[in-house]
Every structure is written in C-alpha cells, then in structure tokens.
Chains A and B, each alone.
Chain A
Amino acid sequence: MTYYLTTVLVYAAVDILACLAISLQFGVSGIVNFSFIIFQAAGAYTAAVLSLPSDSANGGFQTYILGLNLSFPIPWIGATVVGALLAPPIGLVVLRRLRSDYQAIAMLVLSVIASLVVTNTPAFLDGAAGLSLVPQPLSDKFNPYSDGYLWAYTIGALVLAVIVFFIAQRVINSPYGRSLRAMRENEVAANALGKNAVALKMTVFIVGGAIAGLSGAILVGFITTWAPSTWLYPETLILFAAVIVGGRGNNYGAVLGALLVPVGFEEATRYLPPFGPPGLIPALEWVCIGGLILGFLWFRPRGVLPERRRVFPARPKALAAGEQHAGRD
C-alpha cells in the first residue's frame, strides 16, 4: 500500500511540475510546445547517466554515455540545467521565425525525431531498451525499498512541486507575467510597444525546460528506468489536456488538471474490470483524453479554474499616503 500511495503521489508531483511548466509556456505565453516531453526526457536521461556508474558496470548489459556515478543532488541539478540548456537551440530554430501554429507542428516533429534518434542510436542512451538500474538518490546511505525512504522521496518531490508552484506564481503575478500574457494576446502589438517577444518567449521556454528537466529527474529517480517508450509524443498531449481542463494561465488550474487527468484519470481506469481484447482499455483512455480536450475547448475553453482577472486596488498605497509620484519623462 505504501508503494502504491507513494507512487501515485510522486507521479502527482511530477505531473504538477510538468503542468506548471506547460501552463507557463502555453497558458500564459501562448507557446504551443508540443515537444515538451523531450525536455522531461532530457532531464531524466541526464539524471540517469550522471548517477549511473560506467556502462561497463553491471556486466555491461546496457550502453550509454557518461556514467559518472555522481551523488545526489548533482544529477538532479544537472537534469534541471540540461532541460534549460535544451531550450535555446530549439527556441532559436522554432520560436524566432515561425508563426505559432507552425511552431506547434515543428515542435511535434522535433519530438518524434528525438525519439527516433535515441531509439536508433543504442550507443548513446541504450536505444529502445532504455536505461535501467538507475541508482536512486542517496540509495548508498539509505535502503531505497524501505517505507521511510519511499515517504521521504515522496515528500521531497512534493516540496519541490510546491516551491516551483510559488516560483510560477511570482512569474504570472508580476509585470513580466503581464508582458507574457500581452504577447500571447497579440505578439505583433506587443512588439510594437517595445516588448522583445523573442526574448520573452525564450526566457519562458528556458524556465519551462528547467522545470521539465527537474520533473524527469524526479521520475527516473523513483522508477529507476527510462526508455523511449516512456516519452512518446502523446505524453505531451496528456499534459496539454490537463492544462486545458484545469485552466490555462492559472497555476491552481494547472495543479488541478495534473491531479484530474494524468493522475486521476489514469488511476481510475486501473480499477475497470477487464473487457474486450487486450489493449482496448488503454486505447479507450486515449479516446477519452481526446474527447476531454475537445469537450473543454468547446464548452469551457478557459478550463475549470480560468485565468483570474487582475483588479487593482482603488489607489496605490503610496499615493493614499499623499506621496508625490514623479513620471519618467
């Protein structure tokens, strides 16, 4: 029971992180990053190869680069950094010149290409078989199979999700967040008002990439395996469904969406009595997720918890105190 509960909660933390990142990119900034999952995958692979020993260890049954056997938290930091560093090259290609609908297509294609490249270059990250026996954080000091370890890991993951939530709150409630929303509403007009849209998109792309990388590290540290089959492009669509259902541009909506769709929805189907041919229930899950996206876009496009309207207090406090405000001419 402990294993089940902690697994669900760690997945919840990972999905909350992913949905917060997608909400920042898509909900707040209007960037349809259909390659999101490759940022999470990059984080997971980085954490794995930084914490795994050399590939000649364990009988050499898997091949991969690095294998630095670094101790926690370096692999997680590395994963976050790599997630962030992956953003500029992709962003420079995709975000600079393409219109948003073409950006979405380009990113989807990128996701497919990345998966094919990793699958077909076994010497890089062990190809389709993927990496396994990834050491869990601090497993050299604690028993990773003990209940205490599982709960500590879970609490750690949830604390990180809470920290990222507050960071995301700071971003969206700031003037910078307002500029991102202005860019989402009308990029050409924002540019004409002195906003550097490319720089705005790039920064939020990097922040989202860092969060995605961290989420991948948390996941691989718990499940100890990572292969191309775990990060196929449809995984991104589940996360987008979560953000659309929860509420775009609202961090509470992103959390709610993460709990309802990737966690709640997939857990609920686990308890269905088996029926039909094998594979029918997972296939129906996809149908339902597609239906969920369409249904919300049609009937409640702003989600369960829509982006809130910002109302400013009647007079700024400084003015109420009789302070003089000088303009910047």
Chain B
Amino acid sequence: MPVETDVVDAGPATPQQMPAERPLLVASHVSRHFEGVRAVEDVSIDVLPGRITGLIGPNGAGKSTFLAVLAGTLPASSGTITFDGHDVTALPAFRRARRGMVRTFQLPSEFAQLTVLENLLAAAPHNRGDSLVGALLGRRYWRADEDRLVEQARVLLERFRMSAKESDYASSLSGGQKRLVEIMRALMLRPRLLLLDEPMSGVHPSIVGEIADYCEALRDEGLTILIVEHELHMIERMCDPVIVMAQGSVIGQGTMAALRQQREIVDAYLVG
C-alpha cells in the first residue's frame, strides 16, 4: 500500500529551470497497478529538454515500473503521458520508440546471438531491407541503406571505444560492455529522449565513470535523458533535476544538494 506522502519541492534546481521551458515529456497522474499492488501511484513529472533528469529511490519504489510505463513496455493503469506535445499514452512501445522515446533495461537485454555490430544495426530505422517485401527484393534494393547504417554504427562503436568488439557475439561481452551496447543501440534510433534504467548497475567502476561521461556528452549535444540509478554520486554529478520516488509515489524533486536538506527524503532513501 502506498503511504501518504507530500511532495517536497526542493525549489528550482538551477537558474535555467524557468517555467517557460517546455517539457519534452509530461507524465500526469500516472499509475500502474498489478492486481491490487500499486507499483506506481499518481506520479506526475516533467522532463525538461536538454537535461539529464535523475530518478532515484529505494528498491521497490516503482522507478523501473514507471520507466516501463513511460516507454510503453507496460501500459499505464491511469494517467496520461505526453511526449513533445502529443499524447502517447495509448501508443505501444514500438511506436513511442519510433517517435524518439527509447529505453534501456535494468537487466542486460542484448541480442545475445547477434554480433555487437548487428545489435546496433538491428535497432536502426529507415532500412529498405527491413520488411518482408524489401528482403525478397534482394540485396541490391537495400544495400545503400545498409552501408549507410553500418557506417553510422561504426561511428558509434568508435566513439564508445568498442570497435574491436564489432564482430563478437554480444553474449560474450562483460556486463559493462553490454550496457554500452544497449546505449549505442538506443542511439542508433537517433532518439530525442533516452530512458536509461540503471545503466551503471553491476558495472566495473571504470565503466561507471565512462557511462556518466557519455551521458553528459550526449546531453551537451542536446539529447534529453531520464535516468534511473542507484549510483548517487553519479546522479549528483550529472542530473538536474533529480526526482525521488518511494513506495510508488514521488516524494521530492530538485538538485541533489537541495534534496539532501529534506529530512523526509534523507530518511526515505539518501541514508537508507
């Protein structure tokens, strides 16, 4: 059962966070129930463009469920989700992805028996050979698209320093490398909003920093990111604002520094 909690507004996170800034994603009174279990209860958040928004909270807070509802992997029990001004609540996950909302998963979800390069190519849109008819028309029909996408994928592999692994099966990668493949795979869709579900969990500390670097670089290029993560020092470094969830509800939001001043939040999670 959810507890009655008051949302603690820790104040504007930065001077840039002005009311005029139009959110890229708006979740309004979103709930997700599983046969009586209220995993997410009446959550409303705004995700502002060009920022990394952090979503933190203790285990079982409903963060990953909420992310899955945002991405369409799970349907919302109630509430609305608006992406770039369009109501996407009724859209299935694949349509939301095509509109530019792409997610990664809490557990490694690589395409194990595909190579790393194929993992990236499998995610790429706009390939004429990616339909039954296109496939039957033969290689000549889709070769130009394929070559272009191979090149796009190789640029990403180079950027993420994974070129040497291009032809390895994704199943043979380390946990951290699989995370990088998932992020690169999502980037192949050229998303506008990246939903990252604990990309640093179970990852070697050196790759944790690397993932944070990539996230910041992507943000600087204009990508909007919503990240669920337990690595609080990385959240503090990257995110503005940070949203705190507990027992299915939002209990506060603001900068990490401001959140640390809120006793309810500190009790619920930050020292918890």
Contacts and interface: CB of A to CB of B under 8 A. Distances in A.
A252 B54 CA distance: 50
Nearest to B147: A316
B129 to A, nearest CB: 4
B145 to A, nearest CB: 8
A309 B167 contact: yes
B152 interface: yes
B26 interface: no
Interface string B92-114: 11100110001101000111111
Contacts of A197: 94
Interface string A278-315: 00000000000000000000000000000101111000
B186 to A, nearest CB: 7
B79 to A, nearest CB: 20
Interface string B148-163: 1011100000000000
14 contacts: A170-B135, A171-B132, A175-B134, A175-B146, A176-B131, A176-B134, A181-B111, A191-B94, A192-B71, A194-B189, A195-B122, A203-B132, A204-B132, A316-B148
A189 B73 CA distance: 9
A139 interface: no
Interface stretch (B43-51, B136-144, B212-220, B238-246): B136-144
Residue picked from A194, A197, A318, most chain B C-beta under 10 Å = A194
Contact of B136 (A171, A309, A312, A319): A171
B137 to A, nearest CB: 8
Contacts of A316: 146-148, 150-151
B144 A318 contact: yes
A188 B104 CA distance: 11
Contacts, number: 142
Contacts of B71: 192
B103 A178 contact: no
Interface string B110-122: 1111110111011
A70 to B, nearest CB: 27
B102 to A, nearest CB: 7
Contacts of A192: 71-73, 93-94, 97, 102-103, 105
B127 interface: yes
A192 B122 CA distance: 12
A203 B135 CA distance: 12
A177 interface: yes
A29 B190 CA distance: 26
A193 B147 contact: no
Contact of B151 (A193, A319, A329): A319
A329 B190 CA distance: 7
A185 B112 contact: yes
A193 B185 contact: yes
A317 interface: yes
A191 to B, nearest CB: 5
Nearest to B98: A194
Interface of A is mostly: helix
B265 to A, nearest CB: 30
Interface residues of A, number: 42
B136 A193 contact: no
Interface residues of B, number: 53
A175 B129 contact: yes
Contact of A190 (B122, B131, B132, B144): B122
Nearest to A195: B94
A170 B138 contact: yes
B115 A309 contact: yes
A193 B189 contact: yes
Interface string A152-185: 0000000000000001001101111111011011
Contacts of B134: 174-176
Given A182-B111, A193-B186, A319-B151, A177 B135 contact: yes
B162 to A, nearest CB: 14
Nearest to A207: B132
Interface string A198-225: 0000011001000000000000000000
Contact of A178 (B121, B145, B190): B121
Give 3 nearest A-B pairs by CB, closest first. Answer: A174-B135, A316-B147, A175-B129
A174 B142 contact: yes
A120 interface: no
A328 interface: yes
B126 interface: yes
A175 B142 contact: yes
Given A194-B123, A318-B144, A175 B135 contact: yes
A326 B189 CA distance: 15
A178 B117 CA distance: 11
Contacts of B147: 316-319, 325
Contacts of A307: 113
B94 A194 contact: yes
A269 interface: no
Contacts of B151: 316, 319, 325
